[in-house]
Amino acid sequence: MGTAKEHWSREPGRWEATLMPEAWATIPVIATPKVSPDRTRIAYSRGYDGRLDVMVVPVDGGPSLQLTDYARPQGPDLSQRQAHSIAWTPDSAAIVFASNQQGKLWKVGAHGGPSRPVEEAAGNHHSPAVSPDGKWVAFVAEREENVDIFIASMDGSQVRCMTSTDPADDEYVAEPKWSPDGSKLVWMQWPHYDMPWDECALVVADVASGERTIVASGERVINNWPQWSPDGQWIAFMSDRNSGHPNLHRVRPDGSNLESLVYERADHLWPCWSPDGASLAYTRNEDNENQIWIWSDGRARKITTEPGVHSDLSWIDNTRIACIFQSPLAPPDIWAVTTSGERSQLTHSATGGVLGGDLVLPEVISWRSRDGLQVTGMLFTPKEQVPGKHPLVVHIHGGPVGQWNKQWIPWNQYLVQRGYVVLVPNYRGSKGYGREFMEKLYGDWGGGDLEDNITGAEAVITRGLVDPEKVVATGGSAGGYSTLICMTKAPGVFKAGI
């Protein structure tokens, strides 16, 4: 007869895990890689133990160098504000970053040395972009309810607002980028009462005159992630104007010749031009993965297949692309991917506790909600299975306009190793499935999405693995609100919430 400890340890939900919280808590967060203009190094942000730093790593691999100390970069917010913190100077000698020092821009040498402030204009500043001649930096300035694009001389002596100062023009702005000749800026803007996934337009401004032209817009249409072609003749961007999904488009800087380059019912993101301007790389959201595709000569082709999420694309040269890659098996790191699909890892954030963690890939599943809507999610199941005995955790994403993909979520792995089954549903309102699916949540938060989560749990229960009396909801931010809704509106299904 075994001990009480041995008896309880055999119950699913009480198993000993090999991936411990201490292991994933020590993993640094790698984000926002930016290839230097001379194509030799990649700058990125590294978050660890409550602080962020600007780092550089050679494009061919090698040790990373930490550049920041006293002044450190702000964290990126690529979802709601589309904010980033790092930009190279055109001579590749320095990096400008949005700092934690009263929200101002600072500059640090790319080979080391002290950091110095660039400007002291009012507000919190982010998303810097240095002009091709190296004399000016454009950035977003947030001052209470006002959000504008400014340019400042690199010595801080001159600052000028490029957006409208009329209070009636209540727009949020993001992503300023210089044209290759330095004469124009492009940025995206959307109504202050909306979000960038609801409606946004692209604006091109003449830097000398300040004259602004909207080059891509539309009611309830998104036009975002603008990227100048190397010759300045085109602006590539993503728009859902045709398919209901953000697809790859391009337009002339004067707003003419707007055309769709790839039309399909799949979401695209992260467009970027090759240095010779012959190709456009982007990611395609498919089967809860984000794979890299290349458009060239009127045709698109897929170059990656590794299960996971590719993001933050930036060409190293005409044959290699730097990106962030993460998966359920590996935390985010910088990788180089060739146009023929060969891969090399440039940063290494995983610890031994993660590499030896015996992790699992999820299964993509779908089910019908009460009203017949098809909903998709992912199911994580333990390698050892005890039919009818596993507790079920329904892990609800935030946003609510978010999406679970095959990304690095170590808590899911930890729960699975303890003997839980974990469902991560992409309920109505999630992005990645087109505007119609996303807008089904409007005016109905806590209604149809609750039914999606309930029917997802029921679909898992019918498989016979889980104990229907041990179903738990969990989530953060909007997922925390949804957890509250699960517990208060469906206590017969969800016995607990976290």
For the chain, the first-to-last Cα distance in angstroms comes to: 35
pLDDT, tens digit, for every residue of 407-462?
999 999 999 999 999 999 999 999 999 999 999 999 999 999 999 999 999 999 99
Average of pLDDT values for 260-285?
A: 97
Residue 81 phi/psi, 5° resolution? Answer: -105, -10
What is residue 218's predicted lDDT score, i.e. its pLDDT? 92
Q: How far apart are CA 101 and CA 396, in angstroms?
A: 35
What is the pLDDT confidence band of residue 3, given thresholds at 50, 70 and 90?
A: low
Domains of the chain, each with CATH number or no CATH: 4-21+358-497 (3.40.50.1820), 28-353 (2.140.10.30)
Q: How far apart are CA 318 and CA 277, in angstroms?
A: 9
Per cent of the chain over pLDDT 70 is 97
pLDDT, tens digit, for every residue of 320-348?
999 999 999 999 999 999 999 999 999 99
Q: How far apart are CA 179 and CA 470, in angstroms?
A: 57
pLDDT of 8 strictly over 70 = no
Per-position DSSP letters for 30-55, written without gaps between them: EEEEEE-TTSSEEEEEEEETTEEEEE
The token duo for 457 is 């749990």
Please tell me the number of Cα atoms within 13 Å of 260 on its side-chain side.
Answer: 14
Alpha carbon distances (Å) from 29 to 54, 69, 308, 332: 12, 17, 16, 7
What is residue 309's predicted lDDT score, i.e. its pLDDT? 98
What is the pLDDT confidence band of residue 362, given thresholds at 50, 70 and 90?
A: very high
Average of pLDDT values for 252-259?
A: 97
Residue 56 phi/psi, 5° resolution? Answer: -135, 145
pLDDT, tens digit, for every residue of 146-193?
889 999 999 888 999 998 766 667 788 999 999 999 999 999 999 877
Average of pLDDT values for 285-313?
A: 96
Spatial CA neighbour of 127 closest among 101, 92, 151, 157: 151
pLDDT, tens digit, for every residue of 88-137?
999 999 999 999 888 899 999 999 999 999 988 888 899 999 999 999 99
Q: How many CB atoms lie within 10 A of CB 259?
A: 9
What is residue 294's predicted lDDT score, i.e. its pLDDT? 98
Alpha carbon distances (Å) from 431 to 214, 475, 493: 26, 17, 26
Per cent of the chain over pLDDT 90 is 82
Length of the chain: 498
Average of pLDDT values for 211-240?
A: 96
Please tell me the number of Cα atoms within 13 Å of 70 on its side-chain side.
Answer: 10
Mean pLDDT over all residues of the chain?
A: 93
Q: How far apart are CA 339 and CA 359, in angstroms?
A: 29
Q: Following CA atoms 481, 486, 487, 491 in sequence, which dihedral angle do they give, to the nearest 10 degrees?
A: 170
The token duo for 93 is 């000698």
pLDDT of 31 strictly over 70 = yes
